[in-house]
Structure 1
């Protein structure tokens, strides 16, 4: 069933540091009125990178997660800087966080975090045909890099220190793409 989008009667915006909060005055097609809040991040979104060391092994990073006050395993990720494309940001973040560049970068899809109240979009990028190259990053300490075999994904998702939803979703999406449509590095990247 296709529904008409609610009518926005008014938007009041508050600045909240690295975020902007919109207060929406909405009217739904059935006449009901409600106030919703929408959170916007600054910048052009983010990237989540699945760096494949070989056909079967992904590189994970362990870094401090302030929100949980612990060290977490996850994928390479970061903001898209002004003027960058998602693929350029993915390659830069890969070089900063794990010390590799990629000859093959494939944009798989966009991921949202909590679309009912956030506008944040992360671009999921598969990186293959890696080569050593390090760029200085903004991390306060060197990140631990951990290779993980995709055929042991069932073990990874049960670990206490691997809980970030984007990383979990990205690994399953990338594994499925590689199994059904993956091409060898150097071939066209059309999914």
Structure 2
């Protein structure tokens, strides 16, 4: 047996507008005809980069994440600016956060980060042919750059030392 699953949006009310996210309350018609409500974070989307040096080392950024109150290890990533080409955004974020530029970049796939309450998708890219340059952090960004082998990263995931979802998902593409 198969069920109809789609929900029809009847109304959407803006509840909050931040620097780059919006929060809306959607009134929906459920598959069985009843009315339900969904609180949704609207996000412009993002990119994340698995940057692999010629020696096989993968660049990882270490930064404090306030929502979880801890320092996390992650692949470089960032949000899309309005109208920005995702591949260009990936190159920009790589350079801003690591100081490296790349001569090769390849789209690997995308992930829905938290589809129960957020519409954000992150495009995952692989960057190779890296050349060291200068970082260009945002004013409120404080990042340490680390390097690990793929096997070290996979071990760190298994040990719970890497908790970031986009990083764990991206390693599956490599």
Shift of 1:71: 1.2
Q: Which runs of 5+ in 1 are unaligned?
A: 176-191
Q: Match for residue 25 of structure 1?
A: 28
1:107-146, Cα deviation, whole Å (9 max, x unpaired): 1111111223321111111111111222522153542111
Q: Which runs of 5+ in 2 are unaligned?
A: none
Q: Provide the alpha-carbon RMSD of the alignment.
A: 2.2
Q: 1:141 to 1:53 in 2, by over 3 A?
A: same
Describe the SS at the equivalent of 1:167. helix
Conserved 8 A contact 1:9-1:27? no
In the aligned structure 2, how far is the partner of 1:57 from the partner of 1:85? 27
With the length of structure 1 as denominator, give the TM-score of the two structures: 0.79
Q: 1:94 to 1:35 in 2, by over 3 A?
A: same
In the aligned structure 2, how far is the partner of 1:71 from the partner of 1:39? 26
In the aligned structure 1, how far is the partner of 2:60 from the partner of 2:98? 8
| 1:138-157 aligned within 5 A | 138-140=138-140, 142-157=142-157
In the aligned structure 1, how far is the partner of 2:76 from the partner of 2:29? 37
Describe the SS at the equivalent of 2:27. strand
In the aligned structure 2, how far is the partner of 1:141 from the partner of 1:164? 17
In the aligned structure 2, how far is the partner of 1:38 from the partner of 1:65? 23
With the length of structure 2 as denominator, give the TM-score of the two structures: 0.86
| 1:88-107 aligned within 5 A | 88-107=88-107
1:47-86, Cα deviation, whole Å (9 max, x unpaired): 1111111363210010111112221111101011123211
Describe the SS at the equivalent of 2:117. coil
| 1:15-164 aligned within 5 A | 15-18=15-18, 19-28=22-31, 31-43=32-44, 45-54=45-54, 56-140=56-140, 142-164=142-164
Q: 1:138 to 1:106 in 2, by over 3 A?
A: same
